[in-house]
Amino acid sequence: GRRPILAGVHFEISKGALTAVALDGCRIAHASIPVQATGSEAVTVDAKQLTGAITHLSGTVALDILPASVRLTDDTATVLTQKLAGEYTDWRKFIPQTTTLASVDRGALLDSVNRMMILRGTGALRIVLRAADGELLVEADVETGHLSAPREVGTHGPETEMGFNASYLKRA
C-alpha cells in the first residue's frame, strides 16, 4: 500500500540552510537554499496541501513550524499546511557521496534494459548498474534467475552501484 509519509515534502532547517526533499518510492528530488534561521528542525507536510498553499504566496516567504502545522507567510497572505506524522525516510543514504562518471551508448543500455524487461514476469523490475574499471554491468533478478549484461564504457571515479526501476531508467 501507499506510505502516507511519502505523500509529503520534508523540510530540514540546519546550519543556515533549508533543505526540501520529496520521495515517491522510485525517485528523489532535493534542493537546499540558504536561510536566516536559529536552531535545527525537521518537519514533513502534505505535498498536495503545500502545492495549494504556495499558489497564494510570492516573494520572500517566512516558514514557521508550529506544533501541528507549518505556517507560510508573505507580505499579503498566511497559509497553514498540516504536518504529517511519522519518521521520514533517511533520504541521504540515497545520495551518492562520491561521483563516478560512466559514458555508455544509450542505445546499448536501453537494449539491455528492454531484454531484461521482457523476461521479468509480472511487476516492476529493479535494475542495478555497477560501474568499475571500464565496464558497466547491468543486472536484474527475474522469475527465471539472475540476468547480467556487461557493457564496455569509459569510467572515471571509484566503483559504484545504483539501483533503478527499469521503467524510470528507460524514460531518463
C-alpha cell at 134: 571500464
* DSSP codes, 24-54: -SS-EEEEEEE----S-EEEEEEHHHHHHHH
Task: Read off the pLDDT of residues 89-145 as tens digits, 9 standing for 90 and up.
Answer: 888 888 877 888 888 888 989 999 998 998 887 778 899 999 988 899 999 998 888
Contact predicate 109/138, CB 8 Å:
yes
Contact predicate 60/35, CB 8 Å:
no
What percent of the chain has a predicted confidence (pLDDT) above 70? 97
Task: Read off the pLDDT of residues 62-82 as tens digits, 9 standing for 90 and up.
Answer: 889 999 999 999 999 999 998
Q: Evaluate if residue 157 carries a pLDDT over 50.
A: yes
HEC letters along 101-168: EEECCHHHHHHHHHHHHHCCCCCCCEEEEEEECCEEEEEEEECCEEEEEEEECEEECCCEEEEEEHHH
